[in-house]
Every structure is written in C-alpha cells, then in structure tokens.
C-alpha cells in the first residue's frame, strides 16, 4: 500500500507552506475576507474567468477565506496529503492535487456564480483518488482506510448541503477528478 521510500511529505509540506504564505500576505494586504483582496489574489470569479482569466482556476486553490477555512483545509491536507503522497509518490501526488484543485474550481465555475477559493477541491481529489486506487486492494479495505474515506466524503458533502458558504460544487468536481486520476494511477501499477 505505502512505499516506505516515499514517506517524506515534501510536496504536502510545500503546498501547506504556500497556503499559509498566501494567507499571511493577503492578511497584510487587507484581509482574506475582503472581496477586493480576494479578487486581486486570484479567487474564482466567474465574470473574470469569462474575460479570459483562466489562471484563477489554479490560483484560487491556494487562497483561503478566513482563518477557520485555512485551519480546516490545512488539517485535511496534512492528514490526507501525507497518505496520498506516500501512496502515489511526489510527482504523481503533486499532479493529482493540482488537477483535482483545477477540476474543483472548474465545477464551481460551471455551477456556481459565487466567489470561491480554497484547497478543498484538491483535498477531495486526494480522497477520491485514494478510494478509486484502493478499491480493489484488500489491504486498504482491511485497514479501514477505504471505509473511513467514504465516510469522510459522505459526511462533508452532506455538511456542505446543509451549511451555507460551502462550495460543494468544488468538492464534487475535485472528488470526481481524483476518482478518475486514481483509476489511471491504478492501471499504471
């Protein structure tokens, strides 16, 4: 399941540091909940993406709206990122994270007009990839990992449905992207 040669979470830590640095710079620039600051730093804003600012589909995954948002996503990134990076390796993990984040931002763009940002689409992609990659792995089922991941996905989607201000479209888009990438990675073994 986990390659012992890949247990250093270099990429996970890099993404975590990037999120924290962006948060600190945004705080100094006027605050992470300030709409002007969010727009300047690259949050997902549909009207600007319509004008050709497609880069927002990437930059938005490194922006967090408020300290609670940053802390929750940081915890999730550490917990799921370390496992994912150990399973997939550094390069495949980085690609999975970035593509899932873009997939989540794209789903949000397609189905929601709200300004959006955060790493949760990428994190849901990690969850989805681990599920599809390990679906036929008896060891991952016996360890309880797959069942736990399915519970976390289901709980968070349900929580997003009953709570305002959560971009479930980004969560679902990231998860679906991750599911597909996990299947591809499984076939490459």
pLDDT value, residue 53: 98
Can 171 be counted among the known catalytic residues? yes
* Res 93 pLDDT > 80: yes
Query: Of the residues 64, 84, 132, 171, which is catalytic?
Result: 171
Domain spans, the chain: 7-188
CATH among 1.20.1540.10, 3.40.50.2300, 1.10.540.10, 3.90.79.10 for 7-188? 1.20.1540.10
pLDDT exceeds cutoff 60 at 56:
yes
Give me the catalytic one of 116, 120, 132, 143. 120
pLDDT at 6 > cutoff 80: no
Output the pTM of the full model: 0.94
Mean pLDDT score, 61-74: 97
Q: DSSP for 143-169?
A: TTHHHHHHHHHHHHHHHHHHSTT--HH
């Amino acid at each position: 399941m986990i390659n012992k040669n890949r247990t250093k979470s270099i990429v996970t830590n890099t993404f975590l540091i990037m999120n924290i640095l962006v948060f600190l710079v945004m705080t100094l620039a006027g605050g992470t909940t300030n709409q002007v600051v969010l727009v300047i730093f690259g949050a997902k804003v549909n009207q600007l993406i319509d004008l050709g600012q497609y880069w927002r589909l990437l930059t938005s995954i490194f922006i967090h709206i408020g300290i609670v948002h940053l802390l929750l996503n940081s915890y999730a990134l550490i917990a799921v990122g370390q496992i994912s990076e150990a399973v997939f390796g550094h390069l495949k993990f980085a690609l999975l994270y970035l593509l899932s984040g873009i997939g989540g931002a794209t789903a949000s763009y397609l189905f929601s007009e709200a300004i959006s940002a955060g790493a949760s689409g990428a994190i849901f992609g990690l969850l989805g990839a681990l599920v599809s990659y390990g679906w036929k792995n008896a060891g991952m089922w016996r360890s309880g990992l797959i069942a736990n991941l399915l519970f976390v996905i289901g709980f968070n989607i349900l929580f997003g449905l009953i709570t305002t201000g959560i971009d479930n479209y980004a969560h679902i888009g990231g998860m679906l992207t991750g599911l597909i990438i996990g299947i591809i990675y499984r076939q490459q073994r």
